[in-house]
Structure 1
């Protein structure tokens, strides 16, 4: 036996992996449930580390991690950062709420977690347009939104995206949502079917992907990535092994790694999607500028979706998202939108349409892009001695930690210094592994002097790793 895990392993008992047809992670979670319900595993008991339990039972660490994730979701165990996983007691009626995607700003901490848009005069511009709209005498602010009342906004979205990115595009191909996350949910609902749908995504992905899959009761499979994003060979392996209805990815501005996918790789993935009847949802939410790279909707228009918003390029307060759908799928997506929230409020439609039509949105986007490039340069000047990935058109940097630091322990050390960061663990799918790395966003701290001070403190911490860390 193997140290402090002995009692727990003996108490769980050896699951009957050979005698059951269920996947091994299901067999293991059934044994854990039974041990807790029977009282053999007492509240407060520390569970053995994933690798120890995997070695003892002769199974893979991924199988144990998957069972532990289910046990955590059911409230059977609780993971304490830096301390381990502990039994909490009987299963709860509902899993505890997940970490919110959006948190309130904390004035006592420097925030390198939140991916916000910098202030470049948006508030004044929006107030000006609102005053102009307030002078309209015939504004239709009485009834529910319809395909006619949101037509002007959809036409402006076509202009905002541009045909060079999305291929042939007309207003009827556009479906509007309440920001990119809501629009991704809408696209997934339009694409997924069956009792156990499978969604494929990058091996590291924005946490909103996990939230969406959980809400839709879909299995989320992470696919290995490299310096250019998702690997086509690993995608095909995952499709052969798991199947899959949807690939959800961010090929142009990948969060958290800043990777950008080449046209050649996009075309290879498009070919795979055609062979396996796979829908591709391209989440463009971290793209600020208007890239010259064609999207999957242009590469394979019969199955490519482009989802984006004005959140990172103009203002998050607008909650204005949009999907450029495959032409034959737009009506389905529109039905999903109408069934879930009817449509965007008419004042928001009018405001966003006018911001784009007047050129104000484009002007703001240019200013945001310049401010982001300036902040990235500050980060590179201060953190350049460390292993960082960065781009001047992406509002965060990806920092691989030096020997001695883990993502979770570095996050705790930063918090003790008054700094909030996002470790790589938060981007990993349920069964995925995370590198020792963190994402640092650069827009949530308003004052440049405070940003510089926070980055210098991060650099100082990196040079002082804890001792006796076992990797």
Structure 2
């Protein structure tokens, strides 16, 4: 049994117990009682010693792991991390060398269906293009062809009244989200709303901008309008961040009727603006965007990361009607705008009719992987679509999400647990997200799905902490 003497005297009354425990752990680490490298007790052992639930301890550990004070080592336990350790974004911590023997199903990885050759061709064209594109600052008028190419690329989305001036190029979808928040949210203590299960990038952008985040419950059709209005009124929220076409992580779709109800709830709650993140849609849009339903109150962001490549970091934000100056100012004051060579790359790639064919082939190939996964896992309750590059799977009885993720990693398979999509103060369901990796052979992907199925079918008799 690990030593828990340091926990004597912890005060868990009068506020959230997990926060009190996290504060106590921090204080003990700062005093040196818990030195670097010290192994903390398993969740259940500490919970028993303190007379609290395992969830309380797990949440405290999670908060401190996110903050870089603790680190979880697969198969060994939780340890006090080296002081001032940098907390890397999951893109870097989860990316594995190709020869590592592991299978990364953490984030979608696209197959090459001709986009590599197209990108190389565009890079050569940029290198051989006008000299000013390589030696001068970006400028608005010079970017007009790229913005017009974005409008053409988005022609299969109902965006409402839109022109090239409404578009700002960004460094990927995450940058576009940050730009919209900077342009649209203000005040000393601003608040935004997200689904209780939602894309972590919303929360990360808000944290950098010192914006509070509140969660809104959802059902199988999306956000619950009544709850949205109630929480918006209580918090004074200025913006709702959501994904209606492909919800990340559940893969669900919000139909038109529910979107209209959400817009009405936002208007009743004092004009809560809507930021729609459409980055995960790789097929045709199934309903009008929020911007089409409410041009003056909704903003739209997307990128080419899930359709062509995430490597170039090309994204775009579309301002709410009449707000393009605010959006443009956020970009120009922040980084002077996208680099001129990247803007020209955006024009060449998005303006090339061949790119749509490539995107269609990427979508078809992703569908092949999804069908393979469904064939292996179909006896379990999964949410999937052939044009969505991941699956959402509630775990069968006997599995906890964290335990299943660790078990998968021991078999060389990396997946995400629902905890990574949950607000820190909320309880995560025991679910996992499995992403498509289109850069590994289908046989290897199928073998990984078979391994996951065998794990699902054989939950541990006793779930450890």
Q: Normalization by structure 2: what TM-score?
A: 0.87
1:294 paired residue number: 288
* DSSP 3-state at the match of 1:190: helix
1:100 paired residue number: 90
Deviation at 1:445, TM superposition (A): 3.8
1:20 paired residue number: none
Deviation at 1:440, TM superposition (A): 0.9
2:148 paired residue number: 155
Instruction: Give the conservation status (yes or no) of the 8 Å contact 2:369–2:438.
Output: no
Deviation at 1:314, TM superposition (A): 1.4
2:119 paired residue number: 126
Deviation at 1:305, TM superposition (A): 0.8
**Are 1:417 and 2:417 matched, yes or no?**
no
* DSSP 3-state at the match of 1:248: strand
Instruction: Give the conservation status (yes or no) of the 8 Å contact 1:11–1:41.
Output: no
1:13 paired residue number: 11
- Among candidates 210, 216, 222, match of residue 217 of structure 1: 210
Counting only pairs closer than 5 Å after superposition, residues 60-99 of structure 1 correspond to structure 2 as 96-99=86-89
Write the distance in 2 (CA, Å) between the matches of 1:224 and 1:95. 34
Instruction: Give the conservation status (yes or no) of the 8 Å contact 2:67–2:87.
Output: no
Write the distance in 1 (CA, Å) between the matches of 2:333 and 2:67. 30
* DSSP 3-state at the match of 2:241: strand
Q: How many residues align?
A: 459
Change (3 A) 1:455 1:85: closer
Deviation at 1:114, TM superposition (A): 2.0
Instruction: Give the conservation status (yes or no) of the 8 Å contact 2:4–2:41.
Output: no
Change (3 A) 1:336 1:62: farther
Write the distance in 1 (CA, Å) between the matches of 2:346 and 2:439. 26
Deviation at 1:289, TM superposition (A): 2.2
Name stretches of at least 5 consecutive residues in structure 2 with no aligned partner.
Answer: none
2:355 paired residue number: 361
Instruction: Give the conservation status (yes or no) of the 8 Å contact 1:372–1:393.
Output: yes
Deviation at 1:73, TM superposition (A): 5.5
Change (3 A) 1:402 1:27: closer
Change (3 A) 1:139 1:7: closer
Write the distance in 1 (CA, Å) between the matches of 2:3 and 2:196. 29
2:421 paired residue number: 427
Change (3 A) 1:381 1:327: same
Counting only pairs closer than 5 Å after superposition, residues 182-331 of structure 1 correspond to structure 2 as 182-276=175-269, 277-331=271-325
Change (3 A) 1:259 1:88: same
Write the distance in 1 (CA, Å) between the matches of 2:7 and 2:301. 46
Change (3 A) 1:31 1:336: same
Write the distance in 1 (CA, Å) between the matches of 2:130 and 2:184. 41
2:370 paired residue number: 376
Instruction: Give the conservation status (yes or no) of the 8 Å contact 2:249–2:433.
Output: yes
Write the distance in 2 (CA, Å) between the matches of 1:278 and 1:352. 32
Which piece of structure 1 moves more, 24-33 or 451-460? 24-33
